[in-house]
Structure 1
Amino acid sequence: MPHPSDTIADRLQQAYEALTRAERQLATSILENYPVSGLGTITTVAQAAGVSTPTVARMVQKLGYKGFPEFQAELRRELEAKISDPIAKHDTWAERAPDAHILNRFTEAVSGNIRQTLAQMDPDSFDAACALLADTGRGVYVVGGRITRALADYFFLHMQVLRPQVTLIQSISNAWPHYLLEVEAGDVVVILDVRRYENSTLKLAEMAAARGAKIVLFTDQWRSPVSQYADHVFSCRIEVPSAWDSGVTLMLLLETVIAEVQEQTWPETRKRMEALEDMFDRTKFFRKFT
């Protein structure tokens, strides 16, 4: 049973195994350039996927919509949310702000985001992504965007301690091609990209995939266009009563990945951490209370 706050992409993924071959072909077509790919007429959507119009009608009903118009209305609402800027998001929230204190409202929203994100998480995909990141035979590259670069830097700092060959790609469009020179087939590129998706990040993903890299994407519930090139996609809920989106769920997932990679690489990681602590002691970076 779909959750009321599920996106159409969520519903497509949840229903995928129960769809017919033609419906799966349609679902894949819609997800490739989601949500814009579903905004044409029922005929153009069908033609783009190479299926019949009755197939489109049947699939949207399987997703819980009365018909194609209701399906498209929901897509338009998602698109509006996807492209809205911080000022627009704040104005929308302020009009329906409840009387409860912001501490309670914000915490409740974040808690809901975590619950919904974890409820839709694919443990097999999570385990497979962690296995890729723990494989020291693969190089790991990490990149974020205007807002997510802080999370990318945090993730990189920890991964660099856990294992060798980890690189943080600068979030500057004219700098990342230099890093791409080093990416080899089988390497892992971790990308963080949330709404107001960046064109340079999409191009980086496209070119990294062409070089044979494995792409692990951390994104929002509307799914970055990078998802079309990703081997593993983790969609996190980010909406809160603020002009800004929340990074709490993304941070939770990143820290969980760090914990699992640490577990898988512990014998080597322990040696690296001991060597690092010895360097800290010798440089006297940190005070010791002994």
Structure 2
Amino acid sequence: MDAVKPATPPRDYEELIRLIHDRHDHMSKTYQRISVFLTQNPNDVAVQSVNSIAERCGIHASSFVRFAQALGYKGFKELQALFQKRLATAAPGFEARIKALESELHTSGDRSETGFLSDLVVRDIASLQELLRDIRQDDLARAASLLHEADTIYLIGQMRSLPVVELMRYQLTMIGKRCILLDSAGGISTYIARTITPRDVLMAVSFRFYAKEVVDITEELGAKGIDIVAISDSTLSPLAKSARVLFPVPEHDYTFSRSLAAPMCLAQALVVAVAARVQHNDTAPRIPTVTGV
């Protein structure tokens, strides 16, 4: 990335993000980590010092300076000014939401068992607020239509993403959609994926650190023109280039683990939207449940 500097650096936030996306695949691993942080946390980038940002990323501050210079800026402060300008009209960032919620719920600093629960709830509420603000109606409608019209919906998600696709398989099956989970057990997911036809859709879910098989299958099917709906953590995710519809759900560090509250909520919203189409009921679509005999 250092070798090809733009003639003039990007003059606004949107232009900067486009340049970062264009160059991301050719960046060093360190610069890729910086890019992901910048795109996922624009409000925090606007208000925090380069040293604070670097500490959160586990990267030396000098790398952020060199990153900015590689994009044509004199230093990080000049790049940061674009984020500060954007912040004037932006909604509060994740950290700001957490502080406001902690103040409202009086949970900050409580280290009891209830305090752990409160901390997770506060962070999940902030994530869900962010989801509601950032997910576009057009993307939801397009993804729901693709899933509804598919002959078969193939689902893939591994490790921490597996619960998301497991829930979708259950709910989609209950509304009458034919689903196949590309389970890693048996080692034949890649071969099953090669049977997917243009009448089908792949639903892929993956977050850092991306499961290799999920990435490989998504890229292979994307190259064949198969429609793909993806949930991932960033527009810089390796799933992004292959997806017909990408839902970026930024992940923020939790003390114990990153939460699935936001991606689970998004996945259920997609299924409800499909159910509305299947049942021709836009006001009260219903997902049946399994009842005992």
TM-score with structure 2 length normalisation?
0.63
The match for 2:276 is: 263
| Residue identity opposite 1:215 in structure 2 | I
Matches within 5 A, 1:186-197: 187-197=200-210
Matching residue within 122, 126, 130 for 2:140: 126
AA matched with 2:174: V
Q: Tell me which of 145, 149, 152 is aligned to 1:135.
A: 149
Larger relative contact order (CA 8 Å, sep ≥ 6): 1
Shift of 1:65: 6.6
Query: When the two structures are superposed, what TM-score results if normalisation uses the length of structure 1?
Result: 0.63
**Mapping for residues 209-248 of structure 1, pairs under 5 Å:** 209-221=222-234, 224-239=237-252, 241-248=254-261
Secondary structure of the structure 2 residue equivalent to 1:148: helix
Counterparts of 1:134 and 1:191 in 2: how far apart (Å)?
16
Q: Distance in 1 between matches of 2:257 and 2:156?
A: 20
Of 12, 22, 27, which residue of structure 2 is paired with 1:29?
22
Number of the residue aligned with 1:74: none
Cα RMSD of the aligned pairs, angstroms, is 3.8
- Give CA-to-partner distance per residue, 1:37-95, whole Å, 9 cap, x none: 8579569955xxxxxx36999994563279xxxxxxxxxxxxxxxxxxxxxxxxxxxxx
Is the contact between residue 219 and residue 242 of structure 2 (CA under 8 Å) also seen in structure 1? yes
Secondary structure, in 3 states, of the residue corresponding to 2:241? helix
Match of 1:175 in 2: 188
Q: Are 1:173 and 1:200, in contact at CA under 8 Å, matched by a contact in 2?
A: no
Report the counterpart of residue 211 of structure 2 in structure 1: 198
Counterpart code for 1:36: Q
Instruction: Tell me, in whole angstroms, the C-alpha distance in 1 between the residues paired with 2:141 and 2:209.
Output: 29
Q: Deviations over 1:7-42 (max 9, x none)?
A: xxxxx9x953xx3xxx57524314557861857956
CA contact (8 A) 1:152 1:192 kept: yes
Question: 1:103: Cα distance to partner?
Answer: 2.2
Runs of 4 or more consecutive aligned structure 1 residues displaced over 4 Å after TM superposition: 31-35, 37-46, 54-59
1:208 Cα deviation after fit = 0.8
CA shift digits 1:203-255 (9 cap, x unpaired) = 11110101211111112258532122212221224436432211111111111
Please state whether the residue corresponding to 1:229 is helix, strand or coil: coil
Report the residue type matching 2:129 in the other structure.
Answer: R
Distance in 1, matches of 2:118 and 2:78, equals: 39
Asked if 2 retains the 8 angstrom alpha-carbon contact of 1:33 and 1:225, the reply is no
Aligned to 2:110: 99
Which residues of structure 1 form unaligned runs of 5+?
1-11, 47-52, 67-96
